Structures are given as structure tokens and as C-alpha cells.
Structure 1
Amino acid sequence: MHRNATRTAVRTLACAAVPMLLVAGCSSGSDGDDSARPSPSASASSASPTPAPVKFTTLPDPCKTLSGDTVGDVVPEAKKKGKNLGSKDADGYGTCLWSGLDDYQYRALTVSLKRFDSDVTLGSGSERAAEYAGQQVAAISQDEENKKVKDTPLDGVGDQATSIAFETEKKDGEKTEEYREQRIVAITGNVVVTVDYEGAGFETGKTPKAEDIRKGAEKAAKEAVKAVK
């Protein structure tokens, strides 16, 4: 009798253990599924980075960056409306040209605007603008036709600006004319404003003074930078 009772008890415990194992197996399987799911923090860290916000999302019409009075003062006899050189991306790039001839005195002025968006691989809009501005400054000294190149920092124009004075010669038929030129490259936020101003004296006209060209370029640059809003 004792032996039969023992066998019965063992058989009962074994049967009772089966549902417990099944419950344990289901429980451990559920835990495994939870651990396979990414945690909220892991999902957040794997999300795509967002480009930095930029200060300016549009550009003004480059031909409206200067007042009629400024154009008349810097480029005598020029059409005050200016010639828009056009761009397929008006919010990203634009250039306007004013030119005039007054009693053998020739003057030409261009205002160019270039805007940069932020890019997670290329950098923020302001960083990209700074890089482009450096290229605009370097382009003058890299051109072998430009002589007596001198660049200086220009305070009070945008976030940062550089003024470059230089001279060059251009052929007009068989005659060679001497030009005095000034380029100003200014950064404001994520926009680069480049002003190019040149002058020459044709026929009996005298070559303009470098100081006069510099002042005209700086006047135009200050006004053009303020027009970027």
C-alpha cells in the first residue's frame, strides 16, 4: 500500500508540473518579445537629424536693394531700375546691374545676393554662407589679370564684410582702358551680398580715384545688406 501511494503522489506532482511549465514558457516568451522592441530613447536617437533653422528664407529683388538716389549718385546716367540678370531660383540667387556713361566717365555696379539653406551634411546656412564669402574674396587675388589687390575688413556692414580694391585693364577695340574696381563681400545671416563697382575714364576722361570707387561701393553695400530682411 505504501508503495502504491508513493507512486500515486509522484504521478500527481508530475501532472501538476506540466501546466506550470507551460505557463512559465509563455511568460518567458512574452518577456523575449518585449526586450526585442526598441526603447523610446533608442527610437529617438535613431531619428534623422534636423537641419538648423536659418535667418532668411527668401531674398529681395536685387534691383530693389538700392534707392534711386543711391544709384544716381554712384552710377551717373544709369537707368535707376537696373537690369535684372535673372535667376531660375529667385529665392536662392539674384543679380542686378546698373551702368552709365557720363561725359566719358564710365561706371558699372552689380549687386548679387546668394542665400544658403542648412544641410545636415554640408553645414548650417550661416556656415555655408561664410564658406562662399571666402571664395568670393579669394577669386579676386586668384585672377592674374587683377593688379594691386588689397583687401581689408569692413566694419558695420552685415555680420562680417571684406572690402577688396584692385585695378585691371580691359581692351576696347585697339585701345586699352584702365579700370579701378572694388568688391565688397558681406555676410548677413545665411545670405552673402557681393557688390562689384568699377570705373574708367574713356577718351579724354581720367581714371577715377581709388578712394571714390571705394566710397561708392561701400555706400551701395550698406544699403543692399539692409534690404535683406
Structure 2
Amino acid sequence: MQRTAPRLTRILACAAVPVMLVVAGCSSDSGDSGSGATGSKDKASASASATPSPSATTKKVEPAKFAKLPEACKAITAKETGALVPKAKNKNGTPAPSTDPASRGGCSWNGLDDKGVKGSQYRWLDVSFYRYDSDAALGSGQERAQENFAKELAKIEQTPGAKQPVTKSVSGVGDEAKTVAYQLRKTDEDFVYGSVVARTGNVLVLLSYNGAGYAGAETPSAKNVMDGALTAAKEAVAAVAAANK
């Protein structure tokens, strides 16, 4: 009876306080075992909510549009390469070495068209392809191609010795494209350059076409050179889509 009276007094006192306080301080006579179990559950719940789920930490990126690259030396038709480089040393083109053909490739044509007493015309055509995969840490293939588009364009614009480079945006060549026209003095001749940087999906196409007149032959016009570069670039871009059908 001596223990019952104090216990009854405490129960009555608890009944008079708010419910939230009853839960905190008026559980039972069994010590802290009940409140300890509740605290462990609360800590576990807090820990679980603080730890992000795998889906929350995994960055989703857009899938790469193209999985393949075209065969570089066949990306531009023989008819076009024959018109741009009439006396190419290798009419089939010279492939650029690549340790990863699925991600990069290139081809070039060059030759000297001897006009006899009228001099000679030299031409060089070069095309390169770069494909970017989507990566959770680096971004989508399209985003990576866009970033490198700007970098490759800047490299061309900063060509050592280039005279008055002019950059222009053009339409109808992939998703985005820019041209860079300039002249460069080498081998005691003025070479005229027409360069194109184009992006189609997650693939970059870099094309350069240039020429010079030797032994008194006229220097090719900037317009003719750029027109040839754009025609070849359009074929190269189309070849990317064709390779992924």
C-alpha cells in the first residue's frame, strides 16, 4: 500500500498535463526501456531519410543520338572529291590513323594539277569525325559535342599566321555549323582556306578545304573555296545519319 499511493499520485498528475508531455514523461514504471526503443526507431528513421536513394544520386542523361561513324574516306562522294581535288595523289583518300574508329576518324585528299605554262593549282581536302557518348559524369553526348564545337572553332580561328579570319554561322549543315575563311602564307604562296565546323547530334564534323596557285597561276577565290568546303561538309554530315540507319 505504501508504494501504491505515490504511484497513484503520479498517474493522476500525468492525467492533468497535455498528451504530448504524457508520452514523453509518463509512460510506465519500467524505467527507460520503452523510451529507448522509440529513440532508436526515430534515429533509424532520420538516418534513412538523410541517405538519398540510388535513383536520386544517379544523374540521368539523354542517350547519344548516333552510335556509329561513317567510313571517313567514303563519307564524301568520289564525284565531289574528284571535283575539289582533280589530281589527287590517292583518289580513294588517305585515312587518318585512329586507335578508336568508333569515336574518331578522318581522311584527306591532296594533289597538284599541273597546267603547264599556265602554272599549277594545288588543292587539299580534309575531313574528321568525332563522336561523343553520353556519360553521367560528363553529360549527354549532344552536350559534350556542343562543348567541343566551341573549342574546335576557337582553334581554327586562332590558326597561327591566319590573315583576317572571318567566322559565319550557316544553316542546312547538321544541327549547327560555322565557317571560317582566311588566308595563310606558306611555301611562298598565298593559300586560301575554307573551314567548316558542324555538329549533328553527338557527332562533330570538321572539314577543311584549301588551295593555292603555283608558278604564276591565279590564287583560287575565297568564294569558290568556301562553296566547295560547304558542299563536302553537307555530304559528310549526311553520311553520319546514313551510317546509323
Q: State the TM-score bracket (shorter-chain normalisation).
A: 0.7 to 0.9
- Give the TM-score taking structure 1 as reference length: 0.80
Task: Indicate the residue corresponding to 2:97 in structure 1.
Answer: 86
Between the aligned partners of 2:156 and 2:207, the Cα distance in structure 1 is 13
Between the aligned partners of 1:134 and 1:88, the Cα distance in structure 2 is 24
Give SS of 1:119's match.
coil
Within-5 A mapping of 1:176-187? 176-187=188-199
Between the aligned partners of 2:221 and 2:163, the Cα distance in structure 1 is 15
Task: Indicate the residue corresponding to 2:64 in structure 1.
Answer: 54
* Farther off after superposition, 114-123 or 203-212: 114-123
Number of matched pairs: 216
Task: Indicate the residue corresponding to 2:86 in structure 1.
Answer: 76
Between the aligned partners of 1:66 and 1:170, the Cα distance in structure 2 is 27
1:210 pairs, out of 208, 217, 222, with 222
The structural deviation recorded for 1:88 is 0.4
Is 1:227 equivalent to 2:227 in the alignment?
A: no
1:97 pairs, out of 108, 111, 130, with 108
The structural deviation recorded for 1:193 is 0.4
Which amino acid letter does the alignment assign opposite residue 102 of structure 2?
D
Share of identical aligned residues, percent? Answer: 39
Within-5 A mapping of 1:180-195? 180-195=192-207
The structural deviation recorded for 1:137 is 1.9
Give SS of 1:158's match.
coil
CA gap 1:80/1:46 in 2 versus in 1, 3 angstroms: same
Q: Which runs of 5+ in 2 are unaligned?
A: 6-27, 115-119
Native 8 Å contact 2:58 2:136 kept in 1: no
CA gap 1:42/1:68 in 2 versus in 1, 3 angstroms: same
Native 8 Å contact 1:107 1:199 kept in 2: yes
Give SS of 1:87's match.
coil
Between the aligned partners of 1:166 and 1:205, the Cα distance in structure 2 is 19
Native 8 Å contact 2:128 2:205 kept in 1: yes
Is 1:63 equivalent to 2:73 in the alignment?
A: yes
Between the aligned partners of 1:27 and 1:145, the Cα distance in structure 2 is 78
The structural deviation recorded for 1:196 is 0.3
Cα shift readout 1:54-94 (whole Å, capped 9, x = no counterpart): 11122112111011111111111223311001110111111
Between the aligned partners of 2:169 and 2:226, the Cα distance in structure 1 is 13
Is 1:198 equivalent to 2:210 in the alignment?
A: yes
Between the aligned partners of 1:29 and 1:137, the Cα distance in structure 2 is 61
The structural deviation recorded for 1:22 is 10
Q: Which runs of 5+ in 1 are unaligned?
A: 1-5, 11-16
Cα shift readout 1:175-204 (whole Å, capped 9, x = no counterpart): x11111110010111111010000111223
Cα shift readout 1:129-157 (whole Å, capped 9, x = no counterpart): 12212222222332340112111111100
Task: Indicate the residue corresponding to 2:159 in structure 1.
Answer: 143
Native 8 Å contact 1:140 1:146 kept in 2: no
Native 8 Å contact 1:59 1:113 kept in 2: yes
Give SS of 1:228's match.
helix
Which amino acid letter does the alignment assign opposite residue 223 of structure 1?
E
Between the aligned partners of 1:73 and 1:24, the Cα distance in structure 2 is 90
Between the aligned partners of 1:156 and 1:47, the Cα distance in structure 2 is 39
Task: Indicate the residue corresponding to 1:3 in structure 2.
Answer: none
Is 1:163 equivalent to 2:175 in the alignment?
A: no
Between the aligned partners of 2:203 and 2:87, the Cα distance in structure 1 is 30
